Amino acid sequence: MTVPAPVRLAFDGSGVDGSLFTSVTDFARDTRWLNTPMELWTNLGLGVFAVLMVAGWWKARRRDAGAMTLALAAPVAVVVAFAVAEVVKKLVAEVRPCRSMPHAYLIDSCPAASDYAFPSGHATVAAATVAALFLLDRRLCAIAAVFAVVEGFSRVYVGAHYPHDVLGSVLFALPVAYLTSLALRRWATPLVEALGRGALRPLLSAGTAATAQPAR
C-alpha cells in the first residue's frame, strides 16, 4: 500500500490580527467609492518608488561619487530586501486572508495557494526604498515614507494582507536595505569614481563638485 506524502499545513495568520484586518476591510466595504483608486494604487503605486530612485540618481549627479554610489545602490538594496522577504515568505508559509477569512470583504483577487502572505512584497519594496533613500536624500526619503504608509495600508484595504504582514515587511526591509546600501557605498565608491572619469561620466556626474553629506 502506498503511503501518501505528509501534507504541510500552512500558517493561518487570522489569529494574530484578524479582527484588525476585518476592521479595515469593513471600512473598504463602507467606502466603495475608494475601492477602485486603492486597487489601482496598490500595484501601480510601486512605480512612484522607482521614480523617486531615479530622482535620487539625477540629484546625485551633482554631488560626489559616494552619493552616486548610494543612488545606484538603491535599486540593488530594494532587490536584496525583496529576495530576503521571498525566502521568509516560503519559510513561514502563511496562507492569504482570502483563504483563511473568505467571508471578509475582499477587493483583490485571491492568488494561488502557493503565493503566501507574510511578509508583503509590495510593502517590502516600499520600505526598502525608504531605507535606501534615507542615506541618499532625506527629502526624497520623507516623500517615499508617506507613499510607503499609503502602500502598506492599501495592501490591507484590498484584502491582500494582514496588518502584521505589512509590519513584518517593514521590520525586514528597513535594516536589510539600509545595510546593503551602506556596504555598497563602502565597497563600490572607488569603482563608481573610476567609471565617472570615463565614458559613463554623463550618467554619473553633472560636472560639479559637491559635498559627501546626504542632501536634506
* Cα atoms in the Cβ-side hemisphere of radius 13 Å centred on 91: 7
Q: Look at residue 12 and tell me if it is in a domain.
A: no
- Helix locations, 12-45, DSSP H: 14-30, 35-44
Q: Look at residue 177 and tell me if it is in a domain.
A: yes
Q: Look at residue 3 and tell me if it is in a domain.
A: no
Residue written as grid cell 560626489: 64
Structural domain for 171, as ranges: 17-196
- Distance, in Å, from the CA atom of 158 to the CA atom of 172, rounded to the nearest integer, reads 22
Over residues 154-203, the pLDDT tens digits come to 999 999 999 999 999 999 999 999 999 999 988 877 766 665 565 655 55
- Distance, in Å, from the CA atom of 115 to the CA atom of 38, rounded to the nearest integer, reads 21
Sign of the alpha-carbon torsion through 102, 108, 112, 118: negative
Report the pLDDT value the prediction gives residue 204, as an integer from 0 to 100.
Answer: 55
Q: Look at residue 106 and tell me if it is in a domain.
A: yes
Q: Look at residue 210 and tell me if it is in a domain.
A: no
- Distance, in Å, from the CA atom of 174 to the CA atom of 78, rounded to the nearest integer, reads 10
- Distance, in Å, from the CA atom of 152 to the CA atom of 161, rounded to the nearest integer, reads 9
Report the pLDDT value the prediction gives residue 1, as an integer from 0 to 100.
Answer: 38
Q: Look at residue 211 and tell me if it is in a domain.
A: no
Given a contact cutoff of 8 angstroms between Cβ atoms, the answer to whether 195 and 68 are in contact is no
- Distance, in Å, from the CA atom of 162 to the CA atom of 96, rounded to the nearest integer, reads 8
Q: Of 186, 155, 185, which is closest to residue 170 (Cα–Cα)?
A: 155
Q: Look at residue 204 and tell me if it is in a domain.
A: no
Domain count for the chain, please give it: 1
Q: Look at residue 76 and tell me if it is in a domain.
A: yes
**Predicted TM-score (pTM) of this structure:** 0.84
Distinct helix (H) and strand (E) counts, the chain? 9, 0
Q: Give strand pairing partners of 11.
A: 94
Given a contact cutoff of 8 angstroms between Cβ atoms, the answer to whether 60 and 185 are in contact is no
Given a contact cutoff of 8 angstroms between Cβ atoms, the answer to whether 138 and 216 are in contact is yes
Over residues 27-80, the pLDDT tens digits come to 999 999 999 999 999 989 899 999 999 999 888 888 887 788 899 999 999 999
Given a contact cutoff of 8 angstroms between Cβ atoms, the answer to whether 124 and 85 are in contact is yes
